[in-house]
Amino acid sequence: MLRNYFTLYHLARELHELLEGGFAFEAHSQQRNEITISLITNTGNHLQLIVVTSHPRLCIYTREGLNRKQRNTADLMPEINEKKVLGVVMDPCDRIIRIPLENNYTIVLQLFSAKTNVFLESNGKVIRAFKQNISTFIHDKNRKPDTCPKIFRLLESLVHDRAFFIERFRETDADDTAEKLRQMLPGFDRPLVRELLGRCGNSRSPEKIHAEFTTLFYELLDPLPSVHIEGKNGPEFSILHNPPKTSVKLETILEGLNFYSIKTWQYLRTRELVHELDNKLRHKMTKIERELAHFQPEKLMKQADEYERNGHLLIANLYNPKRKKDYITVANVFDPSAPILTIPLKPELNMQQNAAAWFRKASKIREKIQGGIRRIATVKVQQEELDRLLTISSELSSLSEVRDFYETNRSALNILGLSDKSGKEKDRLSFRRFDITQKAVLYIGKNARNNDQLTFSFAKPNDIWLHARGASGSHCILRGATMQNISEIQRAAEIAAYYSAAKHSEFAPVMYTEKKYVRRSRNMPPGQVLVEKEKVIMVRPSE
């Protein structure tokens, strides 16, 4: 239900409460197919509105704090800078959110499944587009505002008038019930239609469908956002009242979309890592299978026998006058029925030396066979180990499981030549790692000496250092975020509190500062530090 009209409708209302009277700060892009609109809320807080285009699993979410632009950042829509936000309005007919600004500018969020885009209007005319060009702006094309169906108005009329619903149902010309409902119920996409028909069970009578439609419509008016994160297909966002029992329930649509986006980035990162791991394992398996297929001891043994036979025949013909400069023709005394043999010779060697050369060649091939047999035994063991690793890797579903896989099977991966030899990767693997967002990564120390290594060898000056206040625990380094990224810091602080003696507390204080303000004196034992310019945040410990 990520791009569902009703989700976006409630999102627009929540954004309106936050942003009306605030300011648009800037619009920029640091990632492909992602635009960030920096805003200041009506309470003076920084808020980033992120719209992701061309991605089926992501659409729109927010992030607290100010994420400053980097050198490779594309500056977009400079006209909106420092403009007052007049409100946030949901289009009554389609999945479009408008953010009107002062001086007749409007930011338009077109949140369609395949054509998600962000535009800037001036006096009702599109002047800029985030993706491609302004011709991709399809809202209001070839239709008049007065004639387009108002989604809520039409659905309300169908809810309150069962006879009207049944009449529309029977008049709608479609091949099946699902298509009929999509045509007559604006705002009901395929997932919502499936939900409606699922609630109807085996009945397809218009009376039963109307009763379930009425219940579903009132649920959509009073959303209960939740995120189901235990499914095999990744996180799923919903605003309906009957989520799976294992779903995480959120207070607002904004919180739900933000939580869903974090979990989706983690899921996508996990899929990426598992895909890389699977490719490495399968590439190694292909090489092993090729090596097994290439080794043919029977063929080599036959060749060794032929070389040894040539040596014996040369010994038997040491004084044969028919020898030529570089070959000799002899009868095969080992097989009288075989044709006459021509044996190549080295002109610079006599017959006895040529025979010895053939014996040496036969001996080398036999040694090669014995070495190959030993190698094949080793390779078959590696093949069995690869089968085991591939079976385990196919079941990995979280970043922690991927990390545990590398940690548990480090020895086997080293033997197979699949471990990363770089020093940086070895440092990273020695710490716990959590991907907070696509760019923000949290590293956690495992013990006192490991904490020292993390803080004073691995961390960079502008990384964010976190630690539970007043309790023993792990040093934590948040990389890829700044002190203004409150959402990332809060999530990192929850994890930092979990990896401390305060993990069982309902709430715990966590201090954070930039790593350059963390130091130690000579007399301090490993793991103890002095912290300056720290800030404190209260969080609920959570892994």
Number of domains into which the chain is organized: 4
DSSP secondary structure string for all residues of 77-107: -GGGTTEEB---EE-SSSSEEEEEEGGGEEE
Q: Is the pLDDT of residue 233 over 70?
A: yes
21 confidence band (pLDDT: 50, 70, 90): very high
Is 257 part of any domain?
no
* 8 A C-beta contact, residue 14 and residue 88: no
Q: What range does the domain containing 518 cover?
A: 423-539
SS3 511: strand
Is 251 part of any domain?
no
pLDDT at 396: 85
Going 154 to 159 to 160 to 164, the CA torsion angle's sign is positive
pLDDT at 73: 66
pLDDT at 421: 47
**Are residues 201 and 306 both part of a single domain?**
no
Mean pLDDT across 231-259: 89
pLDDT at 142: 44
**Are residues 372 and 432 both part of a single domain?**
no
148 confidence band (pLDDT: 50, 70, 90): low
Q: Which of 136, 162, 182 is the endpoint of a domain?
A: 136
pTM assigned to the model = 0.72
Q: Which residues contact 272 (CB under 8 A, 6 or more apart)?
A: none
**Tell me: the pLDDT tens digits for 252-308?**
999 999 999 988 888 888 888 889 889 999 999 999 999 888 888 999 999 999 999
Mean pLDDT rounded to a whole number for the chain = 87
**Are residues 168 and 52 both part of a single domain?**
no
Q: Which of 388, 419, 450 is the endpoint of a domain?
A: 419
